[in-house]
Chains A and B, each alone.
Chain A
């Protein structure tokens, strides 16, 4: 089949709808945010249109640099852990019977229906000293006395992985199911144990999917703001938490917008970097 270049205006018609959606739901909101990030903040009031860099200047400090760094590190770790757990897990599900698959996928979907608030509170209870899982360990004789496992980095990470894991599995599942099952069978007939076949054939065969999943979970985790504040100490608050504080409690929209623009640029940079590394790896 030959593709012909569009010749008349009408040939571009199919682009109108997606173009409109892109403008309405991305270009306009994002453009507004960028514009507001340059506005003048009126302390004790609102903001006035202007073109100043104060909001960016305020952001360029060691403090906010540290928060941004932590946010990115947290999102990267969440993405890595999610894929490290989700990939073998999804692989095992895909090998199971149809009924088992359906049960698992429905269970995962139901986790998706839980709001961040519920997840946060559930984990804060599970990690509490008075009603938490350490009581089970004490009961089992594995621990001397119950302990609080939050607030702390581990608690934030656990809850965020819990929240992102269903997304991870749902992104991986179609690709894993589509992967030719004879590839691993071939590896086994050629002498590879099932585990070796998984790492030699399945993982590299789905490399692009894995990279795409890492990026999606990373971006998803970067936006988290409730779990870090419910389960973390202030040093575990992400940039999204501070953006929310500025936007909702301080009504400092220009500064919130400037931070959000920074966050978007950083995540785009991370995605770009990942793709670049991926391409190099492919060429090698």
Chain B
């Protein structure tokens, strides 16, 4: 497991995304020539490598369906490409791993083909939150991978692990934090709402949002770095330069296992749970294969393997997996997670973005 994870490839965000991904998009890798095949989009870099190595070959062996994996960029560039291709009745990938906001945006334009849960025998395994649905109840996405963003600290600087997200507001931590720079990837509004206002429902009203923004403004003096690129913060966290912040639970765990003085803590309010779903383009002709693929991916053994080899949190119920406590703790937690209000980033995207940018850069 270490061998692959320690390559330290940027996982979810790709710095200077455009140039790098443009090159990767053009390079599909074909596993095996088969009569039946499917094109699957996964985040380029670490994810694609891990899936190509650990997951897809076994799938092809068992089902006879060849997987052509395609590196997709994060952000919403891939959504734009899928949408434009679908208008021309083309599918650059049949199935794609999509972030939740992108899922919602694709729903708005009916980009996703409805999925038939009856054809997915393992559908019962799934956590409720791992099934994406159109407003009318049709299923349009199935949880592929999930990961946590937690409170991370440098153990040299903080011998005691913090217990709450409130540590971000502690005046003792002035100019010591590294936080994600965008409203739509830091999910700090949700963190603030859950920590101080009883839950993310508080974000549903304008007054509630206003209160949350005001509370969040108090954290500004503590922030040393608002980062867009993971590697930048990770390095500073390891060295103790920026000893506290929000970061990915799995990567932090790996860094700690490598002997770096870092730790990831699930605060009592919960870690932030973000996830990607499998979604099928409406232009795809491979609905049959797609259902077989999703069924395979939601199996308990596959989910277990993904947690062990790729480092993602399972999207099915924990008791169904064969993960040991230690393995489970490496990727997840039983503490009730903070689930981002993805709907807000669809309906109030520009408002939130504007307020956020003015908050941190103003």
A-B contact pairs, 15 of them (CB 8 A): A43-B348, A44-B105, A44-B108, A45-B105, A45-B108, A128-B239, A148-B241, A233-B226, A234-B361, A237-B361, A242-B357, A242-B361, A245-B353, A250-B184, A251-B76
The interface residues of chain B lying within 8 Å CB-to-CB of A45 are 105, 108-109
Q: Contacts A43-B347, A44-B108 given; indicate if A229 touches B224 (C-beta within 8 A).
A: no
Rounded to whole Å, the gap between the CB of B4 and the closest CB of chain A is 23
Within 8 A of B (CB), among A219-270: 226, 229-230, 233-235, 237, 242, 245-246, 248-252, 255
Give bound CA distance, A226 to B16, whole Å: 8
The answer to whether A251 and B241 have CB atoms under 8 Å apart is: no
Which residue from B76, B83, B231, B354 sits with its C-beta under 8 Å from A249? B76
The answer to whether A251 and B80 have CB atoms under 8 Å apart is: yes
Interface size class of A (residues with CB under 8 A): 35 or more
The answer to whether A249 and B185 have CB atoms under 8 Å apart is: yes
The interface residues of chain B lying within 8 Å CB-to-CB of A41 are 350
Q: Contacts A248-B18, A249-B76, A251-B79 given; indicate if A44 touches B226 (C-beta within 8 A).
A: no
Within 8 A of B (CB), among A168-217: none
B294-318: contact bitstring with A at CB < 8 Å (1 yes, 0 no)? 0000000000000000000000000
Question: Residues of B within 8 Å of A, CB-based: how many?
Answer: 42
Rounded to whole Å, the gap between the CB of B312 and the closest CB of chain A is 22
The interface residues of chain A lying within 8 Å CB-to-CB of B236 are 124, 128
Residues on A close to B: CB < 8 A?
41-46, 58, 63, 67, 116-117, 121, 124-125, 128-131, 148, 151, 226, 229-230, 233-235, 237, 242, 245-246, 248-252, 255
The answer to whether A250 and B360 have CB atoms under 8 Å apart is: no
Additional A-B contact list (12), CB under 8 Å, known A58-B354, A117-B15, A251-B105? A43-B350, A44-B346, A45-B105, A121-B231, A130-B240, A230-B229, A248-B17, A249-B75, A250-B349, A250-B350, A251-B80, A252-B349
The answer to whether B80 and A46 have CB atoms under 8 Å apart is: yes
Give bound CA distance, A116 to B83, whole Å: 31
The 6 closest A-B pairs by CB, nearest first: A44-B346, A234-B361, A251-B76, A130-B239, A234-B360, A248-B75
Closest to A251 in B: B76
Among A44, A229, A235, A252, max chain B CB count under 10 A is at: A44
Give bound CA distance, A98 to B187, whole Å: 58
Closest to A127 in B: B241
Closest to A229 in B: B228
Q: State whether the Cβ of B225 lies closer than 8 Å to any Cβ in chain A.
A: yes
B343-359: contact bitstring with A at CB < 8 Å (1 yes, 0 no)? 00011111001100110
Which residue from A46, A130, A235, A249 sits with its C-beta under 8 Å from B241? A130
Rounded to whole Å, the gap between the CB of A40 and the closest CB of chain B is 12
